[in-house]
Amino acid sequence: MLTDAFTPEVKSDSLILQGQVLTLADLGAAVRRQRPVKISADPQLAEQLKKSVELVAKAVEEGQPVYGVTTGFGGMADNAVPASLAGELQNNLLSFLAAGAGDPIDARHVRGAMLLRANVLLRGCSGVRLELIQRLIRFLEVDAIPVVRDLGSIGASGDLIPLATIARAICGQSACVKVQHGERLKSGPQVLADLNLAPLQLLPKEGLALVNGTSFSAAIAANATNEARQLMALTTATQAMLMRSLLVNEQPFEAFVQECKPHPGQVWSAKVMRDLLAGFTNSARAPDAQVQDRYSLRCFPQYMGPIAEGIAQVQKVVETEMNAVSDNPLIDCENGTFYQSGNFLGQYVALAMDDLRRHIGLLAKHLDVQIAMLVAPPFNGGLSASLRGNDERSCNMGLKGLQICGNSIMPLLTWYANPLVQHFPTHAEQFNQNINGLSWGAANLAWKSVQLFQQYSAVSLIFAVQALDLRSHALQGHYDGSSLLGDMTRPLYEAVCHTLKHKPNPQQPLLFDDADRWIEQDIESLANDIKEHGPVWQAVRPILNSFDDSFGIA
């Protein structure tokens, strides 16, 4: 079974494809099946596609040397292919690319790849019939998702093997192709029969146009970036809750400080933290407290700023690649020229995903430092060790186990932050692909990093609520931690309590005696809420809106 934990909420407005610019938000709604996808009925689109197909046919008829149309592929491009075999060449392309390995990838990635491929093919630079693009969208309409494996692409000639799996499915080339259609796993030809579609023989250039491009890597990168944006916002709000629990000195977040070092990310991070901390004054700081906090508190804007700028840059790169025509050769229908080129190289996506994983690792590391201070009485401003709820019961250990769990995740996130792109094989495919993008591997690692960070975020939220409850009791004599929060931060506290089925209780914190809650279930509940964009995600939506406004993201 493909992993797809989301319940569709279909919106009435369709996403109309016409080769136009798609955003991360467009793709996110489509892959979650919250927004139906349709192809524009504009006759100019159909005419442009027809013209590109005719140019390919003309080149074949005249025996023009066009890569992958009248020649072999890659290192075998010196093999001339006669006109009589030009169609068979394309169908055979799908056969020899049936070489994927590993486990099935998330259905959202496959949906995203189908959507992006359909959209860029509509540009009319690739030489494919409208019928092929319609089949991609038809499969999306009925949620018939080819089973694509997670190993097999080096991001050099695009994502050849993964995209070929989709192509075989929509053409009905082989019964070996599996398609998840609703709750059932079917063969590709069986799905075509269910949709009253006949198997389709490819025309010259069409197979190459379907498989030669970065649409799959870009789709995974887009999904990872969408989730990373959310996790950045959630981390920022969680930090505010932890800072409130640690009786933070808010002076480092003042506007004057940022004006003296006006990096855009630093300015934004400080402004957001001021907003998140507004509504409650830490008048309880001990008279003998240090005049300034430790770095993890005091340097938040300087630490978070470059991460925010980096994620904004990653988003811009990914959105550009999502909308790129990246197959080879490209067809200029205006002057009838075929351009043998290299838009299929996934380097932009790969470097962006290496960067994204580094940013995620840094976000986790900062949370881990904050939690380490929070559980240690010498550093937490008088809270109990390991945030133990009932101090009168000496065998209580509080959130000690939860910290160990977090400690097991955080090193993995920083390990995933290591770069992949520089490790490309120089000998690939008869030395034709002697530089590689590795976008597929980098994007898949980013997705794994996102999934790990969703788990770590759940851990950190439990710490945040427990700490706020204990601090509230120390300051005000009751355990309702929301009383320490302002209007922008309180919704997250309430969303966490709602997800954990914990009604704030003036008499007890989230965890009083160790056996009161099954923390493992709490982590799972919060992680699922984060994955599914539930109440916890909704609570931090204003931070994302602020991020988009500050960095000029549509």
Residue with tokens 């400690």: 407
- The candidate with the shortest Cα–Cα distance to 73, out of 271, 182, 208, is 208
Task: Give the pLDDT score at 432.
Answer: 62
Torsion region of 338: left, alpha or beta (phi above 0 gives left; psi -120 to 50 gives alpha): beta
pLDDT digits (tens, 9 = 90+) for 98-143: 999 999 999 999 999 999 999 999 999 999 999 999 999 999 999 9
118 and 258 belong to one structural domain:
no
Distance CA 277, CA 180 (A): 47
Q: Tell me, what amino acid is at 214?
A: T
Question: Which residue among 185, 212, 239 closes a domain?
Answer: 212
Distance CA 521, CA 518 (A): 6
Task: Give the pLDDT score at 66.
Answer: 87
Question: Which residue among 144, 178, 212 closes a domain?
Answer: 212
Please indicate, yes or no, if residue 3 is contained in any of the structural domains.
Answer: no
Please indicate, yes or no, if residue 331 is contained in any of the structural domains.
Answer: no
147 and 287 belong to one structural domain:
no
265 and 365 belong to one structural domain:
yes
pLDDT digits (tens, 9 = 90+) for 56-70: 999 999 999 888 788
Task: Give the pLDDT score at 6.
Answer: 34
Structural domain for 453, as ranges = 222-326+341-550
Task: Give the pLDDT score at 397.
Answer: 87
Give the total number of structural domains in the chain: 2
234 and 183 belong to one structural domain:
no
Average pLDDT over every residue of 287-295: 73
79 and 45 belong to one structural domain:
yes
Would you say residue 4 has pLDDT above 50? no
- The candidate with the shortest Cα–Cα distance to 131, out of 145, 427, 139, 485, is 139
- Written as six digits, the tokens of 390 are 């009932």
Q: What is the 3-state secondary structure (H, E, C) of 217-257?
A: HHHHHHHHHHHHHHHHHHHHHHHHHHHHHCCCCCHHHCHHH
Please indicate, yes or no, if residue 29 is contained in any of the structural domains.
Answer: yes
110 and 253 belong to one structural domain:
no
Task: Give the pLDDT score at 395.
Answer: 84
User: Mean pLDDT: which of 154-163, 170-179, 429-438 is highest?
Assistant: 170-179
308 and 208 belong to one structural domain:
no
The mean pLDDT value of the chain amounts to 91
pLDDT digits (tens, 9 = 90+) for 328-377: 899 999 898 999 888 888 899 999 999 999 999 999 999 999 999 999 99
Neighbour-count burial of 316, counting CB atoms closer than 10 A to its CB (0-12 exposed, 13-18 middle, 19+ buried): middle
pLDDT digits (tens, 9 = 90+) for 301-314: 999 999 999 999 99
Q: Tell me, what amino acid is at 218?
A: A
303 and 451 belong to one structural domain:
yes
In percent, how much of the chain has pLDDT > 70? Answer: 94
Please indicate, yes or no, if residue 497 is contained in any of the structural domains.
Answer: yes
385 and 533 belong to one structural domain:
yes
Please indicate, yes or no, if residue 107 is contained in any of the structural domains.
Answer: yes
List, in order, residues 6 or more apart from 274 with CB less than 8 Å away: 250, 253, 254, 255
Would you say residue 453 has pLDDT above 70? yes
204 and 292 belong to one structural domain:
no
Catalytic residues: 67
Please indicate, yes or no, if residue 138 is contained in any of the structural domains.
Answer: yes
Total-model pTM: 0.94
347 and 443 belong to one structural domain:
yes
List, in order, residues 6 or more apart from 501 with CB less than 8 Å away: none
Residue 85: other Cβ atoms inside 10 A: 12
Find out whether 121 and 209 touch, Cβ atoms under 8 Å: yes
Distance CA 374, CA 107 (A): 39
Distance CA 547, CA 189 (A): 46
Phi and psi at 539, nearest 5°, equal -65, -25
List, in order, residues 6 or more apart from 532 with CB less than 8 Å away: 5, 6, 7
Give the CATH number of the domain where residue 350 resides.
1.20.200.10
Would you say residue 12 has pLDDT above 90? no
443 and 351 belong to one structural domain:
yes
Task: Give the pLDDT score at 201.
Answer: 94
Question: Which residue among 212, 239, 274 closes a domain?
Answer: 212
In the structure, what pLDDT confidence band is assigned to residue 157 with cuts at 50, 70 and 90?
confident
Would you say residue 268 has pLDDT above 70? yes
Task: Give the pLDDT score at 11.
Answer: 52
Instruction: Report the relative pairing of strands 101-104 and 144-146 from DSSP bridges.
Output: unpaired
Task: Give the pLDDT score at 280.
Answer: 67
Q: What angle do CA 422, 425, 428 make, to 5 degrees?
A: 145
Give the CATH number of the domain where residue 194 resides.
1.10.275.10
Please indicate, yes or no, if residue 2 is contained in any of the structural domains.
Answer: no
In the structure, what pLDDT confidence band is assigned to residue 429 with cuts at 50, 70 and 90?
low
Please indicate, yes or no, if residue 125 is contained in any of the structural domains.
Answer: yes
Side-chain-side CA neighbours of 272 within 13 Å: the count stands at 32
Distance CA 305, CA 290 (A): 25
